[in-house]
Amino acid sequence: MPKLMPVAHVDKTKYTGKKLNVALVGLGRYAAILADGLQASAYCKLAGVVTGHPEKGEAWKKQYNLADKNIYNYSNFDSIDHNPDIDVVYIVLPNSMHKEYTIRAAKGGKHVICEKPMALNAADCEEMITACKNAGVQLAIGYRLHYEPYNLELKRLGQEKVFGQVRLIEASLGYRTTDPGEWRLKKALAGGGPLMNVGIYCVQSSRYVSGEEPTSVTAQFGPVTDNKLFNEVEASIIWQLDFPGGLVSNCTSTYACGVDRFFASADYGQFELSPGISYGPFKGKTSNGELKFPDINQQAAQMDGIGKLILENKPLPSHIAGEEGLKDMKVIDAIYKAAATGERIMLA
Ligand code: NAD
């Protein structure tokens, strides 16, 4: 895995070249946060939306001063291929829709950013990567923490073995879910429970701190804390990843309670963040003392990092491209298989 370099904070006023025009697909909670990030971005701007709700399209058009012709619905979305004013389609839909809309956007000749989790399984991720390659467009996954200073420091501490070989990681992310109507509790839309939604960050941090791919997985489902809420997806899941360098990573993701922490113990010291995975502000320390970095607009930093490379017609590095989403999904597929069978699943 390549070393991940911090993206310098971009001064919006200093860049005067062309901005990348982004259309957001699916105007839910995260799209609103991304829209704020796009407002603060130097290299990208919000230029269009795709929504199934005409009234939302109208409201967004007014709020962000969007052109009429850049407001699409799910039926006329494919005509985006004739629109030179959209460069990138950013998919912020429920997980089960990521594959279809990535492939449709690629066929329309648009670069694609797709939210995590990339798809429902590794086979779907492979189809998405192939579709984008065939269409000659770039595919990025919305992994905002690859641009976040505290997480970049975790990577540096782990990959550069600042405290020696990391031997143990404990990573947990969860929150309490109470809304039975939430699509995240429907298997057909979400693909799974907290592992698909937030546990993926613990898979990510284990991989980017070690700089390695896991060789085997064991996993256990946690208790069903509410029969009505959790009749399709898991309420909690705990898993263990073994890495070739001698690291074991023990992770939890849950919809039963709030938790947001990362801890690593290496041969000669320790480092941790809590909170360290959500939107911040983050807090962390190492055996040498407190970690102190600026709290940034994670979405603006992500859009600048991806946007600058696309504008320069440079290939996106694999750690933010579709390949990274595929690597996570292979691990997630194995975690679910291990939990369902009780067996150790070999990955390499
Ligand atoms: P949300 O429920 O707030 O929004 C989903 C949007 O999809 C809504 O506008 C809804 O109208 C639309 N939609 C279209 N068809 C739908 C259907 N059949 N069922 C439900 N909604 C439908 O969800 P969200 O929190 O914005 O999450 C969207 C995606 O973004 C997910 O894949 C999620 O994992 C990802 N996400 C990423 C981050 C991050 O930090 N990178 C944070 C939150 C969400």
pLDDT, tens digit (0-9, with 9 covering 90-100), for 145-170: 999 999 999 999 999 999 999 999 99
Closest residue CA from atom 40 of ligand 1 = 144
Instruction: Specify the ligand 1 atom closest to the Cα of 93.
Output: 7
> Which band of pLDDT confidence, cut at 50, 70 and 90, is reported for residue 178?
very high
Angle at 30 between CA 179 and CA 278, to 5 degrees: 85
Closest residue CA from atom 19 of ligand 1 = 183
The rounded Å distance from CA 93 to ligand 1 centre is: 4
Three-state DSSP at 161 gives coil
Percent of the chain at pLDDT > 90 equals 94
Q: Catalytic one among 72, 101, 150, 201?
A: 201
Cβ(178)–Cβ(229) below 8 Å = yes
Distances (CA, A) of 139 to 30, 73, 236: 19, 22, 31
The rounded Å distance from CA 98 to ligand 1 centre is: 10
Q: What is the pTM of this model?
A: 0.96
The rounded Å distance from CA 70 to ligand 1 centre is: 20
Q: Which spans in 120-271 are helix H?
A: 122-135, 149-159, 187-190, 194, 200-210
Residue 201 annotated as catalytic = yes
Which residues are CB-contacts of 34 (< 8 A; sequence separation ≥ 6)?
Answer: 24, 90, 92, 299, 303
> Which band of pLDDT confidence, cut at 50, 70 and 90, is reported for residue 348?
confident
Three-state DSSP at 310 gives helix
pLDDT in tens, 283-308: 999 999 999 999 999 999 999 999 99
The rounded Å distance from CA 346 to ligand 1 centre is: 32
Q: Catalytic one among 116, 155, 308, 327?
A: 116
Residue 116 annotated as catalytic = yes
pLDDT given at position 150: 97
Percent of the chain at pLDDT > 70 equals 97
Residue 241 to residue 272: CA distance in whole angstroms: 18
> Which band of pLDDT confidence, cut at 50, 70 and 90, is reported for residue 53?
very high
Question: Is the alpha carbon torsion for 283, 289, 293, 298 positive or negative?
Answer: negative
Which residues line the pocket of ligand 1, CB cutoff 6 A?
Answer: 26-31, 52, 92-95, 115-116, 142, 144, 183, 189, 197
The closest alpha carbon to 262, from 141, 147, 155, 144, belongs to 155
- Examine the pLDDT at 125 and tell me if it is beyond 70: yes
